[in-house]
């Protein structure tokens, strides 16, 4: 159907109006709706409505001429295009009308000629262009205010989050952690997850507002990949997967790139590959193509995971796009990682593509033009340490104070975490200078560090400069260097400088623990104090005596489930946890009475409300309460005979209210 074009005709002579109308009717391709006024005040009032696509304005309107209406309309910033109609040709008038803002000027005797047809079409298409421009400006302005809003909101949220994370970490490091380490770790993990989400949202808003600046510096490629491997290998192993990073062709040792962003992209692709792969491997393969002309690096991240359907392949690079349904999906994430990565790659002048086969795996390929050091030779790379799944059984039990020195926060905390799991205490420094200061500070009050683990590549003061300064201070403790530069010749040089040992990057858990056992005191007799509040309260022997009521909790988020069990235990209710709908139905077949059945609405295998429907068919007894992130539809709840629902986050008070009326 043709869109209707609204035309205002301002004409005090009826014959001329009819003539104009007839000529307009003759024009093909339009469906006009005409509105006729004879008086200038009415003409202005109509124009002010902004309702018209075009105005045909007679020059002679009784005592007033069309020119003054035109001037008035222009001064009121009316955007409707106006075409002036006049009885005779007058070049001077023509000029004045155009200067006053008319779109065109037509003599009435030309009304039935092609000149009229052209004038109308031209005026209308100008109007469309103007309209598009206005809409574009508005969309840009909307985008800008949205970006300002997101940036402001993210900031406002990050500030309190910083305190939450900071104080939690402080408590975990203090004596207090013995009483609530499990709860504190839950706060820390969830806080960090929230912070990651916020960082992603902020990144995306910076990218869309064109505010993201890339900082390209000279980067040691092997070093960067080793760090990425160290970080990702832990979660690969936790998921029983093999991770490898190899090169198919020799690669430049140093490249010029924004290292932080390049790491971010690699981590996003590898963590997705791990997240969506149940068994098999994740392989990262780098190669150099067109090595002579403009060297281009290809990075392929291939997994043997669930794959992506062909219809979804294009969408996954858009923000918030996820293949699975948001309610039933099992994996964490907001669907921002790939959108950010692909934008970052575009900004680096590269591109990302994906091929995938459902149930067989995916392959993401980055193609990046490289800036390289002219003189440096290319080298082969092979980062592939884990031959098999490593069990934690080799973890030693140790005591001692270890200083970890690395400029990368995630590598610092990864090394810290691995050291801490042995029972040793950990302190951190971001560079050689900070390490030196910490060592001097300690020498004045406490016993010196039992061990220092130090990266070689750091800003401010690198590892080589730091070891000289530290040894000069008289520090006699052990110092291990960490480096991805695997040349044999490097070790004697480092020992000569004052290091006791050299550990290769990427960090290998077993090798690190081996070294720690060599340099720290064994503590296998005393078990690390790790009695948590939850362990005490959820001990079945303790609970059986006092807890009389029972609850079946259907919740897939383990942190939230743990918290709920703890709160319910305090209310003398014994909780049994199942993580999905099918397990709930199975448990109900074995035992169909619980005082309370708490069901999360977003379960991995079905919607919580569908589960309630199935349970009703099974005729179970006990009160069903729905847990949800937003208010569920009351009418659906009443159809399902669910009297109450709880809005997350769950508080003790709400649970108290619900459980006080249980029968
Ligand atoms: P997130 O992982 O946080 O949801 P991403 O933008 O990184 O966000 O990924 C978007 C979606 O693309 C994922 O939710 C997933 O559905 C799909 N996806 C990404 N990588 C893979 C992969 N390697 N295998 C299967 N699906 C993937």
Give the model's pLDDT for residue 322: 66
pLDDT higher than threshold 60 for residue 389: no
pLDDT higher than threshold 90 for residue 352: yes
Helix pair angle (337-347, 177-208), 10° resolution: 50
Give the model's pLDDT for residue 296: 92
> Residue 34: which pLDDT band, with cuts at 50, 70 and 90?
very high
Ligand 1 centroid to residue 41 C-alpha, Å: 62
Q: Rounded to the nearest 5°, which phi and psi values hold at 184? A: -65, -40
Ligand 1 centroid to residue 333 C-alpha, Å: 8
Give the model's pLDDT for residue 323: 65
Q: What DSSP string describes 315-384?
A: GGGSTT--SS-TTT--S---S-HHHHHHHHHHHTT-EEEEEEETTTEEEEEEEEE-EE-SSPPEE--EE-
CB of 612 within 8 A of CB of 588? no
> Residue 101: which pLDDT band, with cuts at 50, 70 and 90?
confident
> Residue 536: which pLDDT band, with cuts at 50, 70 and 90?
very low
Length of the chain (residues) = 663
Helix pair angle (177-208, 114-173), 10° resolution: 160
Ligand 1 centroid to residue 337 C-alpha, Å: 8
Question: Which residues line the pocket of ligand 1, CB cutoff 6 A?
Answer: 268, 272-273, 276, 303, 305-308, 316, 321-324, 333-339, 362
pLDDT higher than threshold 80 for residue 43: yes
CB of 609 within 8 A of CB of 589? no
**Ligand 1 atom closest to the CA of 306, numbered from 1:** 25
How would you classify residue 29: left for phi > 0, otherwise alpha for psi between -120 and 50, otherwise beta? left
Ligand 1 centroid to residue 269 C-alpha, Å: 8
Give the model's pLDDT for residue 195: 81
pLDDT higher than threshold 90 for residue 307: yes
Give the model's pLDDT for residue 497: 93
Give the model's pLDDT for residue 314: 80
Least confident piece of the model among 19-28, 192-201, 298-307, 584-593: 192-201
Give the model's pLDDT for residue 292: 67
How far apart CA 387 and CA 374 sit, in angstroms, is 36
- Strands of the sheet containing 478-483, edge to edge, are 425-429, 401-405, 451-455, 478-483, 501-504
**Ligand 1 atom closest to the CA of 340, numbered from 1:** 6
Q: For the chain, state the CA radius of gyration.
A: 36
pLDDT higher than threshold 80 for residue 596: yes
pLDDT higher than threshold 70 for residue 524: no
Give the model's pLDDT for residue 657: 81
Least confident piece of the model among 155-159, 365-369, 399-403: 155-159
**Residue among 361, 381, 383 at smallest CA distance from 288:** 381
Distances (CA, A) of 361 to 244, 299, 383, 657: 16, 16, 22, 48
Q: b/e string for 592-613 if b means 16 or more Cβ within 10 A?
A: eebbbbbbbbbbbebbbbebbe
Over the chain, what is the mean pLDDT?
A: 83
Q: Is 513 exposed, middle or buried (0-12, 13-18, 19+ CB in 10 A)?
A: buried
How far apart CA 123 and CA 479 sit, in angstroms, is 80
Mutate to test the pocket of ligand 1, among 203, 207, 276 (most ligand atoms within 8 A of CB): 276
How far apart CA 139 and CA 152 sit, in angstroms, is 20
pLDDT digits (tens, 9 = 90+) for 176-215: 777 788 788 888 888 888 887 888 887 887 787 777 788 8
Percent of the chain at pLDDT > 90 equals 31
Q: Are strands 242-247 and 382-383 parallel, antiparallel or unpaired?
A: antiparallel
> Residue 627: which pLDDT band, with cuts at 50, 70 and 90?
confident
pLDDT higher than threshold 60 for residue 653: yes
Give the model's pLDDT for residue 463: 93
How far apart CA 236 and CA 390 sit, in angstroms, is 11
pLDDT higher than threshold 70 for residue 336: yes
More confident residue, 385 or 632: 632
Give the model's pLDDT for residue 540: 37
**3-class state of residue 471 by DSSP:** helix
Mean pLDDT, range 576-605, rounded to an integer: 89
Least confident piece of the model among 273-277, 299-303, 434-438, 481-485: 481-485
CB of 199 within 8 A of CB of 155? no
Q: Rounded to the nearest 5°, which phi and psi values hold at 549? A: -95, 160
Look up the pTM and report it: 0.56
**3-class state of residue 52 by DSSP:** coil
More confident residue, 509 or 341: 341
Q: Whose CA is nearest to atom 9 of ligand 1?
A: 335
pLDDT digits (tens, 9 = 90+) for 244-288: 998 899 888 889 999 989 999 999 999 999 999 998 999 999 999
Give the model's pLDDT for residue 535: 27
CB under 8 Å to 375, separation ≥6 — which residues?
Answer: none
- Extended strands (E) in 401-535: 401-405, 425-429, 451-455, 478-483, 501-504, 521-522
Q: Whose CA is nearest to atom 4 of ligand 1?
A: 335
Q: Rounded to the nearest 5°, which phi and psi values hold at 198? A: -60, -40
CB of 362 within 8 A of CB of 310? no
Mean pLDDT, range 500-518, rounded to an integer: 86
Taking residue 182's Cβ as centre, other Cβ atoms within 10 Å add up to: 16
pLDDT digits (tens, 9 = 90+) for 631-651: 778 888 999 999 888 877 677
Q: Which of 28-32, 331-335, 468-472, 518-522 has the highest mean pLDDT?
A: 468-472
Mutate to test the pocket of ligand 1, among 243, 303, 316 (most ligand atoms within 8 A of CB): 316
Give the model's pLDDT for residue 179: 77
Mean pLDDT, range 134-161, rounded to an integer: 76
How far apart CA 219 and CA 228 sit, in angstroms, is 14
Give the model's pLDDT for residue 528: 31
CB of 567 within 8 A of CB of 652? yes
């Amino acid at each position: 159907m043709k869109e209707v074009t609204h035309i205002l005709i301002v004409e005090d002579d009826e014959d001329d109006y009819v003539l104009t109308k007839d000529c307009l009717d003759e024009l093909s391709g339009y469906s006009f709706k005409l509105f006729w006024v004879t008086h200038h005040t009415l003409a202005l009032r109509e124009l002010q409505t902004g309702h018209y696509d075009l105005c045909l304005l007679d020059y002679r309107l009784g005592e007033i001429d069309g020119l003054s209406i035109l001037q008035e309309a222009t001064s009121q910033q009316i955007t409707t295009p106006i075409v002036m109609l006049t009885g005779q040709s007058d070049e001077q008038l023509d000029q004045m009308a155009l200067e006053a803002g008319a779109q065109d000027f037509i003599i009435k005797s030309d009304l039935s000629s092609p000149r009229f047809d052209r004038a109308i079409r031209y005026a209308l298409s100008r109007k469309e262009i103007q309209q598009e421009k206005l809409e574009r400006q508005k969309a840009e302005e909307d985008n800008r205010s949205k970006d300002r809003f997101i940036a402001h909101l993210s900031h406002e949220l990050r500030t309190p989050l910083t305190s939450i994370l900071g104080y939690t970490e402080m408590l975990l490091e203090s004596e207090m952690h013995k009483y609530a380490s499990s709860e504190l770790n839950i706060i820390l993990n969830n806080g960090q997850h929230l912070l990651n989400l916020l960082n992603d949202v902020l990144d995306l808003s910076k990218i869309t507002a064109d505010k993201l600046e890339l900082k390209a510096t000279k980067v040691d490629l092997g070093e960067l990949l080793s760090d990425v491997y160290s970080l990702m290998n832990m979660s690969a192993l936790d998921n029983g997967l093999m991770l490898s990073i190899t090169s198919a062709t020799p690669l430049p040792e140093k490249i010029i790139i924004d290292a932080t962003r390049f790491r971010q992209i690699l981590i996003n692709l590898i963590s997705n590959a791990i997240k969506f792969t149940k068994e098999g491997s994740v392989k990262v393969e780098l190669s150099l193509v067109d090595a002579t002309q403009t060297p281009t690096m290809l990075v392929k991240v291939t997994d043997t995971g669930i794959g992506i359907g062909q219809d979804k392949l294009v969408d996954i690079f858009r923000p918030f796009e996820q293949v699975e349904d948001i309610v039933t999906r099992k994996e964490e994430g907001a669907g921002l990682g790939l959108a950010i990565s692909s934008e970052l790659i575009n900004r680096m002048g590269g591109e990302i593509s994906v091929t995938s086969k459902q149930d067989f795996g995916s392959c993401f390929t980055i193609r990046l033009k490289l800036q390289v050091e002219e003189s440096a030779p290319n080298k082969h790379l092979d980062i592939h340490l884990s031959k098999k799944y490593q069990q934690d059984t080799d973890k030693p039990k140790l005591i001692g104070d270890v200083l970890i020195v690395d400029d990368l926060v995630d590598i610092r905390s990864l090394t810290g975490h691995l050291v801490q799991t042995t029972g040793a205490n950990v302190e951190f420094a971001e560079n050689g200078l900070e390490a030196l200061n910490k060592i001097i500070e300690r020498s004045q009050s406490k016993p010196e560090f039992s061990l220092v683990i130090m990266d070689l590549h750091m800003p401010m003061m690198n590892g080589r400069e730091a070891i000289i300064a530290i040894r000069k201070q008289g520090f006699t403790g052990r110092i291990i260097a960490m480096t991805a530069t695997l040349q044999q010749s490097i070790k004697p040089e480092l020992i000569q400088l004052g290091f006791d040992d050299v550990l290769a990057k990427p960090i290998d858990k077993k090798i690190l623990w081996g070294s720690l056992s060599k340099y720290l005191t064994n503590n296998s007799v005393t078990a690390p104090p790790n009695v948590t509040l939850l362990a005490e309260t959820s001990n079945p022997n303790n609970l059986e005596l006092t807890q009389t009521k029972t609850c079946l909790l259907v919740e897939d988020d383990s942190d939230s489930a743990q918290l709920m069990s703890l709160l319910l235990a305090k209310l003398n209710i014994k909780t049994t946890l199942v993580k999905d709908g099918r397990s709930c139905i199975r448990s109900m077949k074995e035992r169909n009475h619980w005082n309370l059945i708490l069901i999360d609405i977003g379960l991995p295998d079905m919607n919580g409300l569908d589960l309630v429907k199935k349970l009703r068919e099974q005729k179970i007894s006990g009160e069903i309460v729905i847990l949800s992130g937003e208010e569920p539809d009351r009418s659906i709840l009443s159809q399902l005979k669910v009297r109450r629902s709880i809005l997350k986050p769950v508080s003790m008070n709400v649970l108290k209210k619900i459980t006080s009326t249980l029968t």
